Amino acid sequence: MEFTADADRARYHDDLLLRSAVERQFEIIGEALHQLSRHDQELARLIPDLPRIVAFRNRLIHGYAVTDHDVVWNTVTTDLPALREQLDELLTEG
């Protein structure tokens, strides 16, 4: 979210470096959650949409067809803030 704080959809589409950085961060998030699901299934079940997040990571990593930049942008602006809030809650509970 820090990477896109000063960006809009048009800038995101036009900026290869920004898109690459954002996609890389999603790859890291997806891999971390994948590893969590392998090592602590009970905790992983507390994260809504975990399988969907891992699948998103897989599409980015393996480059299935072409990355849809609108999907990534919408994920940054819509889904990521909620995920961050959920993970922050889990971390403060633990």
pLDDT tops 90 at residue 63: no
Q: For residue 37, is pLDDT > 70?
A: yes
Kindly state the tokens that stand for 57: 């990571």
Distances (CA, A) of 68 to 42, 48, 56, 63: 32, 23, 11, 10
Catalytic residues: 57, 62
Cα–Cα distance for residue pair 44/48, rounded to 1 Å: 9
- In 10 A of CB 70, how many CB atoms? 11
pLDDT value at position 47? 93
pLDDT at residue number 66: 82
Say if CB 53 and CB 35 are below 8 A apart: no
Q: Which of 14-28, 33-47, 51-65 shows the lowest per-residue confidence on average (mean pLDDT)?
A: 51-65
* CA 71 from centroid of its chain's CA atoms: 11
In this prediction, residues 47-65 reach a mean pLDDT of 89
